Amino acid sequence: MAEAFDIGARAKARCDLMGAAPYSEAEGMLVRRFLTPAHKAALDTLKFWMEEAGLAARIDAAGNLVGRYEGAAPGAPALLIGSHIDSVRNGGRYDGALGVTLGIDVVEVLNRAGRRLPFAVEVVAFGDEEGSRFPASMTCSRAVAGTVDVQVMEMVDGDGVSLAEAFAAFGLDPTRLEEAARKPGEVLAFLEAHIEQGPVLEAEDLALGVVTAIAAQKRLMVRIEGVAGHAGTTPMALRKDPGPAAAEAMLALERICRGGCDGLVGTVGRMTALPGAFNVIPGAVEFSMDIRAEVEATRDAAAEAITAEIEAIAARRGLSASVTLMQALAASPCDPGLTALLEAAVAETGQPPRRLPSGAGHDAMVIADLCPTAMLFIRCEGGISHNPREAVTEADCALAARAMLAFVERLAASNSLQRSA
Task: Decide which of Mn ion, ligand GLV, none touches 390; Cβ closer than 5 to 8 Å per partner kind.
Answer: none
Q: Which of 25, 95, 241, 335 binds Mn ion (CB under 5 A)?
A: 95
Q: Which stretch binds Mn ion (CB under 5 A): 95-103, 174-182, 260-268, 279-287?
A: 95-103
Contact track, ligand GLV, 112-151, x by CB under 6 A: ------------------x---------------------
The answer to whether the beta carbons of residues 90 and 29 sit under 8 Å apart is: yes
**Contact call for residue 390 and ligand GLV (CB under 6 A):** no
288 backbone dihedrals φ, ψ, rounded to 5°: -95, 150
Positions 273 through 312 that interact with ligand GLV (CB under 6 A): none
Closest CA to 302 of 211, 215, 369: 215
Task: Decide which of Mn ion, ligand GLV, none touches 42; Cβ closer than 5 to 8 Å per partner kind.
Answer: none
- DSSP letters spanning 215-253: -EEEEEEEEEE---EETTTS-GGG---HHHHHHHHHHHH
Positions 184 through 223 that interact with Mn ion (CB under 5 A): none
The answer to whether the beta carbons of residues 282 and 243 sit under 8 Å apart is: yes
Number of residues interacting with ligand GLV: please give it, by CB under 6 A: 3
Residue nearest to ligand GLV (CB): 361
Task: Decide which of ligand GLV, Mn ion, none touches 361; Cβ closer than 5 to 8 Å per partner kind.
Answer: ligand GLV
The answer to whether the beta carbons of residues 327 and 218 sit under 8 Å apart is: yes
CA dist 104 to 11, 36, 201, Å? 8, 23, 24
β-strand partners of 78: 120, 187
Give the burial class of 331: count Cβ atoms within 10 A of its Cβ; 0-12 exposed, 13-18 middle, 19 or more buried.
buried
Shortest distance, position 352 Cβ to ligand GLV, whole Å: 26
> Rounded CA gap, 419 and 421, in Å?
5
Positions 218 through 277 that interact with ligand GLV (CB under 6 A): none
Closest to ligand GLV by CB, 234 vs 387, is: 387
> What is the contact surface with ligand GLV in residues (CB under 6 A)?
130, 360-361
> What is the contact surface with Mn ion in residues (CB under 5 A)?
95-96
